[in-house]
């Protein structure tokens, strides 16, 4: 009834190619942006930001990054945790070396550095494919975590081997450290999330994205029709690592504040982000958000139901969570391999024909 | 004989033993991969699950006692009996066969014909599921597993090498037994695959699902058989590793150690798994001893195997013994 393209005429090519061609979608998008930018910052408190919004926003960036590599370019990576660690340590070194520079620049630079490291570990992808590549990216995971654990230069020779974020600001507003305000950290992360989503969306529907998808669907055929696999794969690794680096930097500097690398950026983190994009939907930006939201909400909900309502011990709930996540992965792969994003697409398709589906 | 050389040889031998244990886990991967094209990430968790079940049965633990106590407010832990190790192993094997049936019935039957990478991710989900179920069933505290395998330094080797070189080598009895078991297991598996009816059917399925189906091989049965075999290998690996370092979560991480072994040896080759395991075992121990510990700050064992496999793969993408990869449009 209200969800129609009828009557919504495009008069320019730009209008024809916009991300949300249906008017209702477009207004919904603006409404979400408005609420996220101008309503939530004024009403949030520490609990909401720290337990829901910040992890969601940061994981969404990581999921977008991994989705570009796995969902769009078809190169399975299990090294996400390691690349997030690169982002975290890069931002730490930058923060301590240049205290006067704005955090915006530090986070972006951390992303650029991670992109470089990502390209380095992406080089074998030109020779190695499929499982072999998935396992090869584990080399990045273990090597990077070991490196940050063992080389004192990376953690500035601190006695504990941890890194902790000093107080830094941007435009005079405190962003990192202990004395931040909820709205400031929230808005800071939100800006990066919006930026990542817009960049990723426009990259994936442009010529770069089409090349990635050609490589994903069949690399030899893509090569024959003139896609340069070297360039396509390495740009995918670079862009993906750039986003993952940003999310790692935010995860360390804004969200946690102090990090022990083996604990925070271990292989479980790689799997968590991979699960997000499987549940959310491979090859979909919306899916990255949906998956991140789902896996951030699930433990919170389980904790509320299991520990607070039923009064079970926390370790049982933690184990149940493993069971549920594992089962969900399998159920999604069987029932809907394209994840939540596909459910959303089907729902929209139904809605367009509603109430006269024939 | 100079001290340093003796040390190096000792490290080399211990590396060989560790390599055998890696190969044992890798074997389970190869079996499933060859017969169904599934890269089973859950192999390590299966080993953990098998070891947990074995300990639980030997000690007479009540399954899910933790959960039952939480729901019904009871306070039960043990049945109050001890089960003979051999009986417990047989029962555990039955549990692993039931698990194989369930995995086949509820997961992979619905995923036939999907892309390999989807199947791989399904096994990651399976790994999480099994880990959670194992913990819920038997509790997550560290347990000791004792099925009567000898442990500790082998006195004969210690004495013989001391008389020979003036320095007694430290070789664990358990490692020796593990190597013998692994060797026997490999021989049995190869004979099984080559000379029995089921083994031939297994290879036929590995070669071409549809052709095998059309000449009357039951895919369902073969896949359950293969998962049971993998469960058996996981049980053996679980017993060895569990006796060595206790039954705990880190047991499932041996799967991660087996992955570079597979890359090196090739996913489809049983001898490859053995040779790869030995190379990785010796390589990482020697690297840690000669370069890692003195110069790089130690703990290089975490990544050395992966780096070795990575560098190796760049030159030979199908692994040492893997079948040549032929790609067509």
β-bridge mates for residue B78, sequence order: B61
Are B47 and B238 in contact by the 8 Å Cβ rule? The answer is yes
Rounded to whole angstroms, how far apart are CA atoms B34 and B31?
5
pLDDT at A290: 92
B65 near A CB under 8 A = no
pLDDT at A193: 94
For the segment B198-207, the average pLDDT, to the nearest whole number, is 83
| Residues 273-312, chain B, touching A (beta carbon < 8 A) | 296-300, 302-303, 306-307, 309-310
Which positions in chain A touch B303 (Cβ < 8 Å)?
139, 142-143, 146
Partner-chain contact A274 B121, CB within 8 Å: yes
For the segment B40-57, the average pLDDT, to the nearest whole number, is 88
B94 near A CB under 8 A = no
SS3 call for B319 = coil
Partner-chain contact B126 A129, CB within 8 Å: no
pLDDT at B266: 76
Listed range (A139-143, B67-71, B146-150) with the worst mean pLDDT: B146-150
Domain boundaries, chain B: 3-249
B52 near A CB under 8 A = no
| Residues 24-43, chain B, touching A (beta carbon < 8 A) | 39
| Residues 142-161, chain B, touching A (beta carbon < 8 A) | none
Nearest to B242 by CA among B137, B146, B148: B146
Query: Tokens 């491979």 correspond to what residue?
Result: A282
Which of A135, A280, A282, A315 should we substitute to test contact with B (largest number of B Cβ atoms within 10 Å)? A135
More confident: B172 or B240: B240
Which positions in chain A touch B262 (Cβ < 8 Å)?
135
Digit-by-digit pLDDT tens for chain A (358 residues) are 677 777 778 888 888 888 887 888 888 889 999 998 888 888 888 888 888 899 999 999 999 999 999 989 988 888 899 999 999 999 999 988 888 888 889 999 999 999 999 999 888 888 777 777 887 788 888 889 888 888 888 888 887 778 888 888 778 777 777 777 888 888 889 999 999 999 999 999 889 999 999 998 888 899 899 999 899 999 999 999 999 999 999 999 888 888 888 888 988 899 899 989 988 888 889 999 999 999 999 888 888 887 788 777 777 888 888 898 889 888 888 888 888 888 888 888 888 887 877 7
Rounded to whole angstroms, how far apart are CA atoms A12 and A144?
49
B162 near A CB under 8 A = no
Nearest to B122 among A316, A323, A330 (CB): A330
Q: Is the dihedral of CA A30, A31, A33, A34 positive or negative?
A: positive
Sequence-separated (6 or more) residues with CB below 8 Å from residue A315: B66, B140
B68 near A CB under 8 A = no
Sequence-separated (6 or more) residues with CB below 8 Å from residue A198: none
Which positions in chain B touch A130 (Cβ < 8 Å)?
116-117
pLDDT at A62: 95
Checking if the pLDDT of B1 tops 60, the result is: no
CB pairs under 8 A between A and B: 141
pLDDT at A76: 86
Q: Least CA distance to A223: which residue of chain B?
A: B329
């Amino acid at each position: 009834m209200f969800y129609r393209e009828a009557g919504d005429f495009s008069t320019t090519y730009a209008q024809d190619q916009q991300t949300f061609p249906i008017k209702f979608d477009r207004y919904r998008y603006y409404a979400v942006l408005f609420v996220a930018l101008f309503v939530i910052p004024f009403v949030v408190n520490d609990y909401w930001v720290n337990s829901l919004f910040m992890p969601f926003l940061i994981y969404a960036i990581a999921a977008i990054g991994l989705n570009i590599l796995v969902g769009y370019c078809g190169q399975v990576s299990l090294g996400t945790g390691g690349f997030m660690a690169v982002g975290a340590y890069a931002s730490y070194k930058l923060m301590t070396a240049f205290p006067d520079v704005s955090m915006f620049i530090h986070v972006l630079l951390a992303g650029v550095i991670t992109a470089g490291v990502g390209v380095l570990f992406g080089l074998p992808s030109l020779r190695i494919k499929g499982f072999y590549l998935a396992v090869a990216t584990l080399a990045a995971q273990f090597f990077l975590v070991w490196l940050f654990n063992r080389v004192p230069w990376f953690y500035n020779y601190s006695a504990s081997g941890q890194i902790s974020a000093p107080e830094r600001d941007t435009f005079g507003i405190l962003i990192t450290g202990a004395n931040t305000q909820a709205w400031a950290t929230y808005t800071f992360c939100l800006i990066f999330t919006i930026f990542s989503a817009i960049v990723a969306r426009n990259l994936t529907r442009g010529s770069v994205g089409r090349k990635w998808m050609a490589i994903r669907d069949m690399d030899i055929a893509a090569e024959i029709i003139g896609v340069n696999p070297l360039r396509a794969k390495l740009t995918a690794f670079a862009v993906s690592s750039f986003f993952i680096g940003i999310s790692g930097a935010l995860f360390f500097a804004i969200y946690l504040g102090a990090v022990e690398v083996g604990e925070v950026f271990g292989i479980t983190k790689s799997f968590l982000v991979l699960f997000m994009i499987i549940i959310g939907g491979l090859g979909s930006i919306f899916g990255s958000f949906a998956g991140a939201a789902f896996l951030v909400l699930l433990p919170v909900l389980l904790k509320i139901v299991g520990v607070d309502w039923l009064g079970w011990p926390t370790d049982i709930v933690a184990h149940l969570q493993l069971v549920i996540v594992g089962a969900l992965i399998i159920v999604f792969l069987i029932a809907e391999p394209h994840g939540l994003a596909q459910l959303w697409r089907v729902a929209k398709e139904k809605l367009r024909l509603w109430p006269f589906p024939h | 004989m100079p001290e340093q050389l003796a040390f190096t040889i000792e490290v080399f031998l211990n590396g060989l033993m560790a390599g055998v244990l890696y190969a044992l886990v890798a074997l389970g991967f190869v079996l499933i991969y060859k017969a169904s094209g599934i890269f089973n990430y859950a192999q390590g968790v299966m080993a953990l699950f098998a070891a947990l079940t074995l300990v639980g049965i030997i000690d007479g633990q009540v399954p899910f006692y933790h959960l039952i106590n939480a729901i019904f407010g009871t306070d039960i832990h043990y049945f109050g009996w001890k089960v003979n190790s051999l009986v417990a192993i047989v029962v555990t094997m039955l549990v692993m066969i039931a698990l194989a049936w369930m995995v086949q019935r509820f997961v992979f039957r619905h995923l036939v014909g999907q892309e390999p990478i989807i199947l791989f991710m399904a096994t990651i989900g399976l790994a999480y599921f099994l880990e959670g179920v194992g913990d819920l069933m038997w509790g997550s505290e560290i347990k000791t597993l004792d099925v009567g395998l000898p442990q500790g330094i082998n006195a004969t080797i210690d004495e013989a090498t001391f008389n020979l070189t003036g320095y007694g080598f430290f070789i664990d009895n358990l490692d020796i037994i593990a190597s013998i078991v692994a060797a026997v297991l490999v021989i049995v598996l190869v004979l099984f695959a080559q000379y029995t009816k089921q083994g031939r059917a297994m290879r036929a399925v590995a070669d071409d699902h549809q052709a095998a189906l059309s000449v009357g091989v039951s895919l369902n049965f073969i896949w359950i058989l293969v998962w049971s075999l993998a469960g058996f290998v996981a049980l053996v690996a679980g017993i060895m590793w569990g006796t060595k370092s206790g039954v705990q979560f880190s047991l499932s991480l041996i799967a991660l150690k087996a992955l570079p072994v597979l890359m090196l040896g090739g996913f489809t080759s049983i001898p490859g798994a053995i040779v790869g395991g030995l190379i990785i075992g010796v390589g990482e121990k020697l690297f840690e001893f000669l370069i890692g510990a003195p110069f790089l700050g130690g703990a290089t064992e975490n990544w050395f195997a992966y780096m070795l496999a990575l560098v190796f793969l760049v030159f030979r993408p199908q692994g040492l013994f893997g079948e040549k990869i032929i790609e067509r449009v």
